Amino acid sequence: MANVTVDAKGLNCPMPIVKTAQAIKTVASGDTVEVLATDSGSVKDFAAWAKTTGNPLVEQTTDGGVFRFVIRKK
Amino acid sequence: MTVAEAPMVPVVEPAVEPEDDQPVRQQGIAIICYSGELEKTWAAMILASTSASLGMTTKVFVTFWGLQTFVRDGRRVTGTNWMQKMLSIMSRPGIKHRKLSKMNFLGMGPWMMFKLAKQYGVSSPAELLEVAEMMGVEFVPCQMTMDMFGLTREDLLPGMGEPVGAASYLADVAAGLSPIFI
């Protein structure tokens, strides 16, 4: 179970990333943030964001057009 | 006790002080927000908010027509002489009053753009600006443009930093920030 869930469904670039960056600031190191997004560009964007910030993307699933990402804060 | 038998005293090396003229290396972007057109303002705000989200140092230098974007809401006529006043009347300042470079059609173009943006969940430049400021993006006005357009710090958005010149921007580039001109 993730510590925080960000519902970014219906939001377009760059808001899913921006909201995730804001949420990651509120959790402690080792905690996870779950993000739900419908922006198909976010699949590549979350990989890029995780690589740049160093917070690993630990889970990624798709369910009927909803992308789910789980990030662990480094 | 002879000198040779004296206990060894550890030699303390003086700490190496960083030289003052060496700039601190920084990673991030330095945007020049030059254009006041809607689509370019949008691009600048997207890059600024995303860059901050990636944890990069982000600075936005606001100059020429871009400065009109960062005039406070409700400031309708700015400047002191008739030319500066006419400029602000002809081109309404504020982030909510940007015009498209193409197909503006007396405001019909931007109206459609905002309608489409809402439909597709795209945040407006004003919303992105708010987010960018919240995430620590630095917005810096150009002193020279302020003088030329007759703008005071009171005319500009309260979150704007101390006005600077081109050298301050280039010093940030020299320190490692990637320059982006929009």
Task: Check residue B19 and give its pLDDT.
Answer: 57
Of B82, B77, B109, give the one whose Cα is nearest residue B94: B77
Residue A14, preceding peptide bond in cis (omega within 30° of 0): yes
Q: What is the mean pLDDT of each run of 10 residues along chain B (182 residues)?
A: 58 58 78 98 98 97 97 93 94 94 94 96 97 96 96 95 95 96 98
What's chain A's Rg over C-alpha atoms? 11
Q: What's the pLDDT score for residue B162?
A: 95
Considering CB atoms only, which of B120, B123, B135 is closest to A21?
B135
On chain B, the residues whose CB falls within 8 A of the CB of A11 are: 121, 123
User: Structure pTM?
Assistant: 0.86
CA-wise closest residue to A60 among A34, A41, A38: A34
- What pLDDT does B12 receive? 60
Query: Are B53 and B61 contacting, i.e. CB atoms less than 8 angstroms apart?
Result: no
What was the pLDDT predicted at B25? 76
**Nearest neighbour of B53 by CB, restricted to A21, A38, A39:** A21
Q: What is the pLDDT of residue B18?
A: 54
Domain count, chain A: 1
Q: What is the mean pLDDT of residues A41-66?
A: 95
Average pLDDT of chain A, as a whole number: 95
What are the C-alpha distances in Å from B91 to residues B72, B84, B140, B151?
14, 11, 21, 14
> Would you please indicate which residues of A are annotated as catalytic (active-site) residues?
13
Pairing of strands B28-33, B57-62: parallel
Name the token pair of B166.
Answer: 């081109």
ipTM field: 0.89
The CATH number for A53's domain is 3.30.110.40
pLDDT at B98: 96
The answer to whether the Cβ–Cβ distance between A12 and B46 falls below 8 Å is: no
Residue A57 pairs with which residues in a beta bridge? A71
CB A50 within 8 A of CB A57: yes
Distance from C-alpha of B129 to C-alpha of B22, rounded to nearest angstrom: 32
CATH of domain B27-181: 3.40.1260.10
Structural domain of residue A65, as residue ranges?
A: 4-72
Interchain proximity B54–A39, CB inside 8 Å? no
Q: Cβ contact (<8 Å) for B46 and A49?
A: no
Q: Is the dihedral of CA B89, B73, B161, B47 positive or negative?
A: negative
Pair A45, A16: CB distance under 8 Å: yes
Residue A27 has pLDDT above 60, yes or no: yes
